[in-house]
Chain A
Amino acid sequence: DAGVIQSPRHEVTEMGQEVTLRCKPISGHNSLFWYRQTMMRGLELLIYFNNNVPIDDSGMPEDRFSAKMPNASFSTLKIQPSEPRDSAVYFCASSLYRRGRAWETQYFGPGTRLLVL
């Protein structure tokens, strides 16, 4: 299994530009999570999907951020317009959720390192 795949691995852009981060979860997994990691705030959950449906987006910082999951094998996180404070590492993770279980192991992608100038 290839694991969770994220692209690009690195992104440098200028303030005001649109940024799109991509994630391919592990085949067969039904839950997908987007996280952001910064030095100041550590790891934070932005949004997660269950069976392609967004369940909780309370961690999305503001309207400039949006996430979609058009099918079980692909998700995007978009920032428009980007700002320097969005600079961070963005991780995607997937898991196989079974009803009735308190939790399940999440498998993380390698992350996308975003720098907004």
Chain B
Amino acid sequence: ILNVEQSPQSLHVQEGDSTNFTCSFPSSNFYALHWYRWETAKSPEALFVMTLNGDEKKKGRISATLNTKEGYSYLYIKGSQPEDSATYLCAFDDNFNKFYFGSGTKLNVKP
């Protein structure tokens, strides 16, 4: 069984705060790491695909880093806004046809 762990499970921040959360995955058989943003009653939306150790990706106020040797990725949100409230999922791809999803970090940004 392949474990993908995300922490924290939930996070409550004030508007304007910067925040970050972690995805831990096996350091062997790495193929790709995906981040998704999932709003309630909607479908998960792809944010980033990361494949190389040391990768850094950025989209607006959201960025992510990748360390495949130690098996973790960080997602950062700068200056959180209420519309950033969602569950953020990471998914590990070991190139055997399936994604292994973490349980997600549920972010709540208070105005």
Q: Check if A and B associate.
A: no
Q: What is the interface of chain A, defined by CB distance below 8 A to chain B?
A: none
Q: What is the interface of chain B, defined by CB distance below 8 A to chain A?
A: none
